[in-house]
Amino acid sequence: MKRVRFAPSPTGSLHVGNALSAVANRAFGDWLLLRVDDTDPARNVAGGEEEILRDLHWLDIEWDEGPVRQSERLERYREAAAPVGDRLDGVTLLREDGTATYQLASVVDDVDFGITHVIRGNDHRPNEPVQARLFAALGARPPEFVHHGLILGEDGKKLSKRAPGATVGSLRDEGIPAEAVRRYLDELGLPRHDVRYDLPRLKRLAIEAIAALPDEELAARAGAPLELVPALRGARDLNEARETTRAILEPEPARLDESARPTLDRFRELLNAANGTLDPRGLLRELKAVGGDLKALRLALTGRDRGPELWAVIAALPRDEALRRIDAAL
């Protein structure tokens, strides 16, 4: 059985590179430990662990044990270090206050939880020789170390957490569906070499993910009634779908001049003539045929000069509500 672990520090929402490690561990391992590396108080962020758990749940990454917090295992680390000492080959194992350093805590945890494979980014390669010596000093067999490439910025340098879309939380806030983020990370797999962050690819995946969502799910995520779903299908992200929902359900006030009256009067006639058999696309074709001002119609119905397909707006609005907005605009 492949026993793996994902061990983030509680420093806030996951960097996409750390999320890649989480996905890679879950895909590779038969059993996954979630460990929280919180032995360095200076790096810990209030609420950081909660943000990480939210990110993992959002990405549909489940673990088999944990979260195990290193801060709750300090006695075990001191016990393990006793026969070795506070230092090993020049590497500090215990700080002056008796707390364990990353190297000691990480190796002791891997021993105690029977970790067979350590899958992590290339930035951890320098730790491998030190940790291998520490495993030997503790009389334990080291796991197999597998290092994958890092996700870099467009400039080929380390991707800053402040860069657009660099954290799972920021992608969620931007309305990128979890399915798109997970698919992007799954596509990267275990890259042998560093890769540049392809945010445009991720945004294309977002469009595909929204298109693939069942009607009920898309309506729920956009906060929309089911009948609005056709108007949401072209959204590039969930924020745009939510904005479309607001545009239809909560129109901006619109006051049109008399030049719009012929179009809106004709629209009213066509809507009344439909008598429950409305064909929004056909209705718009008829309006175009008589030189109707579709921009004025959009403004009357939504208060905005751009947005979702106009036919989808007409299909989504109850007849009486559409007529009320037409009257109000005039």
pLDDT in tens, 34-85: 999 998 888 888 999 999 999 999 999 999 999 999 999 999 999 999 999 8
pLDDT tens profile 178-192: 999 999 999 999 999
**All structural domains of the chain:** 3-152 (3.40.50.620), 215-330 (no CATH)
pTM of the model as a whole? 0.89
Of the listed ranges 54-58, 69-73, 166-170, 228-232, the least confidently predicted one is 228-232
In this prediction, residue 278 has a pLDDT band, given cuts at 50, 70 and 90, of confident
- Most confident range (mean pLDDT) of 44-48, 84-88, 172-176 is 172-176
Task: List all residues 6 or more positions away from 284 whose beta carbon is below 8 Å from its beta carbon.
Answer: 294, 310, 311, 314
pLDDT tens profile 103-158: 999 999 999 999 999 999 999 999 999 999 999 999 999 999 999 999 999 999 99
pLDDT tens profile 108-120: 999 999 999 999 9
Strand (E) or helix (H) holding 17: helix 16-28
Mean pLDDT of the chain: 94
Question: In whole angstroms, what is the distance from residue 170 CA to residue 127 CA?
Answer: 30
